[in-house]
Structure formats: C-alpha cells, structure tokens
Amino acid sequence: MRVPKDNPETLKVREVAAILRCGRNQAYELIQRGEIRSLRIGRAIRVTREALEEFKAGQEATARAR
C-alpha cells in the first residue's frame, strides 16, 4: 500500500513545528522532554502523525481543564 506524499505517516521536526505553529527549536524541546513521542532513524528525528495527534489531544484537554 502506498502512502500519498501529501500525507506521510512520519513528519520532520520542521513540519511538526509548522503544524503546531511554533518554532523549530520549541518543537525539538517538546520532543526532548518526551511530550511528543519521536523516532530516531540514524541522525534524523521523525514524529508519527499518531504521536502528534496524541500531543494535540493532551493540549486540548489541558486547555479545557483551566
């Protein structure tokens, strides 16, 4: 099964930053702190769409609790 190029299963850190509307360094910090699960492939860091959705769902729940 082919995955369309416009919707890959894994995202680069700069793509995660663009989706979250934050800086690239902020995205790296979220990954380093373990707030966003990631994969390391060689030297490259990738984030699955599932991990990003989990992070966003957690952020929404936190915002509602306030």
The pTM (predicted TM-score) of the whole model is 0.82
3-state secondary structure of 11: strand
pLDDT at 3 > cutoff 80: no
| 10-23 residue pLDDT tens | 999 999 999 999 99
CB neighbour class for 40 (10 Å; exposed up to 12, middle 13-18, buried from 19): exposed
Rounded Cα distance between 25 and 29, Å, is 6
Rounded Cα distance between 42 and 39, Å, is 10
| 46-61 residue pLDDT tens | 999 999 999 999 987 7
pLDDT at 42 > cutoff 70: yes
Across the range 21-28, mean pLDDT stands at 97
DSSP 32-64: HTTSS--EEETTEEEEEHHHHHHHHHHHHHHHH
